[in-house]
Each structure stands twice: as structure tokens, then as C-alpha cells.
Amino acid sequence: MKSLFRLLSFVLLTSGLAYAQDYPTKPIRLIVGFAPGGGTDYVGRMIGQRLSDALGQPVVVENRPGASSMVANELVAKSAPDGYTLLVAAAGAMTIAPNINTNVGFDTFKDFEPIALVVTSPYLLTVNPSVPAKTLAEFTALAKASPGKLNFASSGTGGAPHLAGELYKRMARVDIVHVPYKGLAPAITDVLGGQVQAVFADINLVLKQIEAGKLKALAITGTQRFSALPDVPTMAEAGLPGYQAQTWYGLVAPAGTPAPIIKRLHAEVSKALALPEVRSQFATQGMLPASASATPADFAALIRADFDKWRKLIKEAGIKASG
């Protein structure tokens, strides 16, 4: 019996290796859960082109917008695990949406094989210039002095910018009011106009206004400073040790995709992320490229850590799906 098991294991292993050596033999679909023009789409097209060049087959970006990428996630989760349908996984759809919505058509951990983290994208805690605070500590002191008087805008209830604000509220122990919008663009417009005091926003959406003095950046929500704003500290540096709230984008495949294919795709993504021109292009979008030495296991650990962190916060804050 043991001999038969070893034989079957050997056959499966060698067949998988042979399949991976020939892979790919046809175009690869790279599914993006949002319309063209956004961060997920940008990452998909940047990495898709590099993979096309490296693999010798077209990597076709296919936009499947709907339900904040949950439609795309479900599509890929139910696709054949053969390496020909991949997903640009976005942090919100993988780690936040399943903790807010009870009817998602996929399981973050059972339905996908992580391939590689591509970029992280932190937010900036940004305020209207009329707010009498130049630092995070001063903003926190202002909020504590007037509970419920300050407010912060977000792209909508349950979105990553909203959770970034809720995490700040809990860690700083302040009472500031959440004002949800339908997207960050109108939220930023009202912060510029002074109708709302603050917003946690993508760097590329507010950088020009900050440089023009129309907004003030108090802190960055990631683990490192951003090159274009070297004087803006991280939230941790500014007085909230352990604070981290950022979105990220990476590649995943359907569960059951042969390990040699995952290894091949990961290797090619890592080579792309090591290129200075790729890292520079991502930086223009306010994105921080992942380390070229990061592994699929590292990406899996990040997904699990963020999933558990947001699940705890969502439960404690009583956040429910909007609409």
C-alpha cells in the first residue's frame, strides 16, 4: 500500500513538473475587479506586461468590475486551477469585504493560492489648512479636547479609508465623526472646502494639493515614509506605535494550481519588482513596491494578518455593510 502511495505521489509530482515546464502554452487571463484607470488596473497592466515579456505568451488584462471586486474574486475562485486565470487581488476584497458581507461567493483562504505581493499603498491622514494642528499629536489633542466635534471623510462605510480612521480612533482613544462619501474624490473635495476636517486618502490623490498648500499631511499610515514627502512621519513615528493601515495589491491563482506554476509566476513577478524602472513607475502612483525577495508564504501571512485585524475592528466598531 505504501509503495502504491509513493508511486502515485511520484507520478503526480513529475506530471506537475512537466506541466510547469511547458507552461504557458496559451494566453493568460489576468482578472481585475475594477474598471480601467484605478489602482488595481494599473498594477494589473504593469505586471501583466512584464509577465507577457517573460513568459512569451500574452497576459490579457480583463476588467470585471462589480461589488468592489467580489464579482472578480468569485470568478477566479471558480476557475480551473491551471495557471491560465489569475487575479489581481486587492486588500479590501480579500480581507475587509468578507468580514462585512455575509454573501461573498468565495473563501479568502480556501479558494486562492497566493503568488506574490506586488505593492502596498498607504494613506495620508490629511486635513484642511484651517485645522489648528501641524502634527498628529496636535490633531489628537484637539480631538480629545472636543469629543465629537471633528470629523473625517471616507470613500464609504466599510472601505479601507474608513477602517484606517476607525483604527486611529481606537488606538488614539478619540471621538471623531465618520462622514462617508461615494468615493474619495468627493470626500477630498469637501475637505478642501472645509466642510469636513480630515480624510485618510491615497497619496496620489492628495499629493498635488499638499504641495500647493491646500491640504496638510499629518502622517502616513504605512510602515515607511514616502519619498516625495520625506518630512511626513508614519503614524507609528508620530505617536501611535503599532499603527498600520494600508491597502495592497498582489497576484493569486485558484486553489489547487500546481506548485511549480506558482513558483514560476512568483519568480517572474520578483524579477519585475527588482527593476528600478518598475519601482519608479509604481512610486509615481503613491505605491510602494514589495521586496523582490518576498515569498508566496509571506504574502499568505499578510493576508491572514490583515483579515484577522480588520475582522476584530469591524466587530468591535459594529460596522455593517452600507445599503
pTM: 0.90
**CATH fold match for the domains 23-121+246-317 and 122-220:** yes
Domain range list for the chain: 23-121+246-317, 122-220
pLDDT digits (tens, 9 = 90+) for 109-150: 999 999 999 999 999 999 999 999 999 999 999 999 999 999
The CATH code that applies to domain 122-220 is: 3.40.190.10
Query: Quick one: fold of 23-121+246-317?
Result: D-Maltodextrin-Binding Protein; domain 2 (3.40.190)
Peptide bond into 241 cis (omega under 30): no
Residue pair 71/237 in contact by the 8 Å Cβ criterion: no
Percent of the chain at pLDDT > 90 equals 87
H-type helices in 104-193, by residue range? 136-145, 160-172, 184-193
Q: What is the pLDDT of residue 233?
A: 98
Mean pLDDT, rounded, for 194-201: 97
pLDDT at residue 10 is higher than 90? no
pLDDT computed for residue 21 by the predictor: 76
d(CA 113, CA 254): 6
pLDDT classification of 103: cutoffs 50, 70, 90: confident
Tens of pLDDT, residue by residue over 250-308, are 999 999 999 999 999 999 999 999 999 999 999 999 999 999 899 999 999 999 999 99
Q: What's the CA gap between 286 and 197, in Å, rounded? A: 22
